[in-house]
Structure 1
Amino acid sequence: MQSNKLRMAIRATAAVAVFGVAGQASAVSFSAGDYDVSVYGYGRLNASYDFDANVANSTRSAAFDRLENAAGANAQNDDITGHFGADAFQSRLGFKTTSPEGVNVTVEGDFRGGGGGSLRLRHAFGEYNGVLMGQTWSNFNSFVGNTSTLDFDSLPGLAGLQGRVAQARYTTGPMSFSLEQPSFSVLNGPDERNSLPTFTARMEDSQGGLSYSAALLANQVTVDNGADDDSAVGFATFVAAKMALTDMITIQGTLTYTDGANDYLYRSGENFGAASAYVNGNSIETISGYGGSVGAGVNLGGGRSINIGYGYVEVDWDDAESDLGAAAVAGQSESNQAIMANYQWTPVRNVMMGVEYQFIKRENVDGTDSDANRLLFAAQYNF
């Protein structure tokens, strides 16, 4: 019984990730000839109040690169407090079809593109007999250990790349393997070149009262200015787990380690990914990092829940500082962290409202730091 309840909790977490609501997602389904078609989506209002610096991005998510610090990263906000904003950019529309032969096709978008207000492609892929081609969640990703947050970008240190990439993937049982569009940046290097796809392998399963996931990733980081070029192999790994302690309470967490693959260390660097490497003379050197998150969810019944979570990431700039000098890395973000607590309420099916408190903090390599306190409100209507 506990295992079944845990599986339902995991499915609910996946629904949060895909549909952005703590509750059962729905769709308008119909048949068109021999095809089964579903249309789904939601309209959503996000609102934020920043007590300190204005750190809100589109969808009112917290942005670490907007935090004030002594190095002047966000000087326009100095000595200004109290910022309110609201938008509906997270609103979403998607289509799914299943052919008579069992071919599944999904196309989905939202309105976060171009800084907010423009249609953005989220998912566009086909799937048949375990073979997936197109753009969707990276295979180096899991929602198993995620805590439900109202902030669209959520906590630092979640498992893997919490984003969507073009890929070819094969899934068999609990195992999945993919070749994906690579993602990396190099500090002070010549032009970056994608020389090979990123390879990933992931296992995700449940047993007894535990659901878990683990993954590995390997990529090649290459720089090339036409005359000189060099490359290095980067790798990353994560583990994630969720456990139902009682019918009401779940705990969950994630751990990630990267070396030469910091784009896959979620919410590191300025906001989403730190540099994966740097160039020292004619040699490319990798940069490592680690992070994690922990959280708990309490189901209060009657469509009400409380969720609390903490996330932390840190990037190791010591070698780069030694090789390049302190000035070259002084303003780089060394650590990002966030604490969130929210109350969510589903008064009727397909409607969710919630309020969330956030505290975020950034510390740079030179020791300067800044933090911010925020309140979020969200209202979402699914179809």
Structure 2
Amino acid sequence: MQSNKLRMAIRATAAAAVLGVAGQAGAVSFNAGDYEMSVYGYARLNASYDVDSDQALSTRSGSFDGLVNNDDAPDGHFGADAFQSRIGVTTMTPQGVKINVEGDFRGSGGGSLRLRHAYGEYNGVLMGQTWSNFTSFVGNTATLDFDSMPGAAGYQARTAQARYTSGPLSIALEEPNSSFVSDAANLAQKDALPALTARLEDSAGGMSYSAAVLAHQVGYDTGSDDESAVGFATFVAAKMALSDMITVQGSLSYTDGANSYLYRSGDNFGAASAYVDGSGDVETISGYGGTIGAGIDLGGGRSVNIGYGLVEVDWDDAEDDGVAVADQSETNSAAMANYKWTPVQNVMMGVEYQFLKRENVSGDDGDASRILFAAQYNF
């Protein structure tokens, strides 16, 4: 019984629980001729109170940017917005082709429509933009923070791709995502090949699990000089039901030359993947991270979730080679605890405490406490 419940949670509503995605189980469905149509989405209010420095992004998500040396920063900041609200349409054609288009209002800093998903899928072949194949929600703990915790498995974002899925295995070619720590190299950065990803995701007994690998090229081309290196990333993630009430979950990640895929490892999201040394060679930068958490179902639509996430980037080689990395983030971490309540179907309210901490290569650090509130109404 536990296995069936967990499998349904992972496959049908994991993204909804973790990142606030509207589950299509509550969608408005109808037929247009031989086409099956579903319209889904939600309206959501996010509010935050920053006890210390103002760390709020749009959707009131917590940012690691500006966190260092924040002791003298003004404290006590309140804000609210509804930018996370979204709407999507799914169509199933008579031939069995699925088409999904979805957007929210987080674009251009908040308030503008932003494309999230736009893809078609037939017989296991998917093309378009959706969650990166190098992503899993299996090990994520449910947070009210839209951007979730550092160290979550994989990219945790959507990207253009061509993917093939057969059973629990999926392989994809994706839009590459990399960066250099050197601004000069960024000007000549070249993406010559797509990123290659492979993921296995399944469940057995009371456990669901996921593992993935990614390889991509990071390089530059000035016209006279052309250098590159291969970067890779990997993660494992799992969720286990200890009882009908309690689940534990977590993930571990390692990257070398692919820190863009090490979630929330930089100023706010991915750190640099490589640097260019004095001889012009591309040198990769490694990093690692992980999360751990627990969810407690209190019954009556009430739940408590606690979690911790951490990422660390190894800048030693870059520093030894004379690259200016003192202001780069070496460690980002976050701890959170929340209470969520569903008073009636399709309505969720919650409150969350969040503690963010950052330490730079220079040794300078900073931290901040935040309180979040959310109210979401699904359709």
1:37 maps onto 2:31 in alignment = no
Amino acid in the other structure paired with 2:60: R
Is this contact kept in 1: 2:19–2:148, CA < 8 A? no
Q: Deviations over 1:313-338 (max 9, x none)?
A: 0000000000025xx00000001000
Residues 268-287 of structure 1 correspond to what in structure 2 (within 5 A)? 268-281=265-278, 282-287=280-285
Is this contact kept in 2: 1:146–1:253, CA < 8 A? yes
Is this contact kept in 2: 1:94–1:107, CA < 8 A? yes
Amino acid in the other structure paired with 2:98: N
Could you tell me which residue of structure 1 aligns to residue 14 of structure 2?
Answer: 13
Amino acid in the other structure paired with 2:91: T
Identity %: 72
Q: Deviations over 1:200-249 (max 9, x none)?
A: 00000000111000001000001112221200000000000000000000
Find the partner of 1:245 among 234, 242, 247: 242
1:347 maps onto 2:348 in alignment = no
Could you tell me which residue of structure 2 aligns to residue 262 of structure 1?
Answer: 259
Q: TM-score, normalised by structure 1?
A: 0.95
1:363 maps onto 2:359 in alignment = yes
Could you tell me which residue of structure 2 aligns to residue 158 of structure 1?
Answer: 152
SS in 1 for 2:151: coil
Distance 1:299 1:25 in 2: 20
Could you tell me which residue of structure 1 aligns to residue 48 of structure 2?
Answer: 48
Distance 2:143 2:73 in 1: 29
Residues 120-131 of structure 1 correspond to what in structure 2 (within 5 A)? 120-131=114-125
SS in 1 for 2:65: helix
Is this contact kept in 1: 2:153–2:263, CA < 8 A? yes
Residues 1-383 of structure 1 correspond to what in structure 2 (within 5 A)? 1-10=1-10, 11-17=12-18, 19-20=20-21, 25-69=25-69, 78-188=72-182, 189-190=184-185, 191-281=188-278, 282-325=280-323, 328-383=324-379
Q: Deviations over 1:137-189 (max 9, x none)?
A: 00000000000000000000000000000000000000000000000001114
SS in 1 for 2:8: helix
Cα 1:19–1:378 change in 2 (3 A) is closer
Q: More deviation in 252-261 or 3-12?
A: 3-12
Shift of the alpha carbon at 1:304? 0.2
Cα 1:187–1:18 change in 2 (3 A) is closer
Cα 1:369–1:265 change in 2 (3 A) is same
Amino acid in the other structure paired with 1:273: G
Distance 2:66 2:362 in 1: 17
Cα 1:80–1:19 change in 2 (3 A) is closer
Between the two proteins, the alignment pairs up a number of residues equal to 374
Distance 1:142 1:169 in 2: 15
- Structure 1 stretches of 5 or more lacking a match? none
Distance 2:113 2:40 in 1: 16
Distance 2:355 2:337 in 1: 9
Is this contact kept in 1: 2:18–2:141, CA < 8 A? no
**Aligned-residue RMSD, C-alpha:** 1.3
Amino acid in the other structure paired with 1:331: D
Is this contact kept in 1: 2:20–2:144, CA < 8 A? no
Distance 2:76 2:18 in 1: 30
Distance 1:298 1:270 in 2: 32
Is this contact kept in 2: 1:25–1:350, CA < 8 A? no
Distance 2:360 2:110 in 1: 28
Q: Deviations over 1:109-156 (max 9, x none)?
A: 000000000000000000000000000000000000000000000000
SS in 2 for 1:236: strand
Q: TM-score, normalised by structure 2?
A: 0.96
Distance 1:85 1:79 in 2: 17
